[in-house]
């Protein structure tokens, strides 16, 4: 395999690797409200009297990476900030959210 082929393979697999890296942080910090596949938990939404958008929805996916990171770190509405995630973890969770696109 030549250098350019290796470089192309690395570029193509980077988002998959980042998303896989984000799965553990997502499972620990996000899954209980947003669901295993980003679908949201209706009971939690009902309890909080909010709509939890599917993370793959156009409304979520149209946000920039910076906007999604800010929501994760600072919270929004009734969503509390996620504490204790490193910058890498936050980026990896955003990469995972990108794979949920409908």
| pTM for the model | 0.80
Neighbours of 37 (CB within 10 A): 12
Domain around 46: 3-98
Strand partners, 79: 76
Q: What per-residue string of b and e applies to 48-65 under the rule 16 or more CB within 10 Å gives b?
A: eeeebbbbbeeebbeeee
pLDDT of residue 41: 95
Q: How far apart are CA 18 and CA 3, in angstroms?
A: 22
Residue 102: pLDDT band with limits 50, 70, 90: confident
- 21: nearest Cα among 76, 94, 82, 78: 94
Give percent of the chain above pLDDT 90: 78
- Give the domain CATH number at 78: 1.10.760.10
The number of folded domains in the chain is: 1
């Amino acid at each position: 395999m030549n250098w350019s082929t290796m470089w192309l393979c690395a570029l193509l697999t980077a988002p998959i690797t980042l998303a896989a890296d984000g799965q553990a942080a997502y499972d620990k910090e996000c899954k209980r409200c947003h669901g295993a596949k980003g679908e949201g938990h209706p009971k939690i939404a009902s309890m909080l009297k909010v709509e939890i958008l599917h993370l793959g929805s156009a409304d979520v996916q149209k946000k920039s990476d910076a906007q999604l990171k800010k929501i994760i770190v600072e919270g929004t509405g009734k969503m509390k900030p996620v504490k204790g995630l490193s910058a890498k973890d936050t980026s990896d969770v955003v990469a995972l959210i990108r794979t949920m696109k409908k």
